Amino acid sequence: MPDFQPDSSVVSRVIPSPNHNEREGGPPDMVLLHYTGMQSAEAARVRLCDVDAAVSSHYLVYEDGHIDQLVQEERRAWHAGKSFWAGETDLNSRSIGIEIVNPGHDFGYPEFPKRQIAAVIALCRGIIARRPIPRDRVLAHSDVAPNRKQDPGEKFPWRLLADSGVGLWVEPAPINDWVSLGPGDTGDKVSDLQQALAAYGYGIEATGQYDDATRIVVTAFQRHFRPAQVDGLSDSSTRETLRKLIAARNALTPPNRAQNTQSAAS
């Protein structure tokens, strides 16, 4: 018998992980999506339930669409690691973590099956219906830990999720020139870019120097929001997509939250 009843009607089975503790602060207001990054689903499940590994997630979604719940939503699962978003660092307390079975970039990085994505959408829609999770706080692991993580990566169909009411998406601006900001560049344009990325939530300082940290954050932004070309260079397409995204987020958020997010890429 399972140790708890599933929080979602789309869960196939409960397989409790010992790796969780009490949340700090209020209820979760973020969903973080990951890929497992291991060669098999079974290896991923075993690791997420291994007390010595000290990692877990609330849900594990298999390629065929079946879903395991490993940790109750009210508990703090250990999936985000060292991370940052919009001034917050204890993202395990703020979020519900969903691991999606995919071997990832180190093992061939295949496409996500349609049945699996349909299951992710159904799961997320249920979570969003039960909890106060804004669309812009459905995020990738790579968004909140860009220096460590690539998942779920540029093949993940964020547009399809947004079309189903999960997450925020804008049509990426066309890639039509090669005029870019990149490593070694300095000045106001770099600072404006950094301020815009920080305004959206990324952990970046406006130094005016296009350093390696800036390249890494731009790469993470492209993986999620401009996946057609992921190179860490801030071309006009990247900057315009970021500007449109901030405008779309501000249009959805209450005025008191939007006041601090008026910077836009130039």
E strand map for the chain: 13-14, 20-21, 30-35, 59-61, 67-69, 76-77, 95-100, 138-140, 180-181, 234-235
CA distances from 220 to 3, 55, 203, 231, 253 (A): 37, 22, 11, 10, 23
Residue from 189, 171, 187, 202 nearest 235 by CA: 189
Place of tokens 């699996």: 116
Catalytic residue among 99, 111, 205, 240: 99
State yes or no: is 99 an active-site residue: yes
Q: Tell me if residue 34 falls in helix, strand or coil.
A: strand
Relative orientation angle of helices 236-252 and 188-200, to the nearest 10 degrees = 40
**What torsion, rounded to 10 degrees, do the Cα atoms 188, 191, 196, 202 define?**
170
Structure tokens at 70: 């490993």
The residues annotated with a catalytic role in the active site are: 99
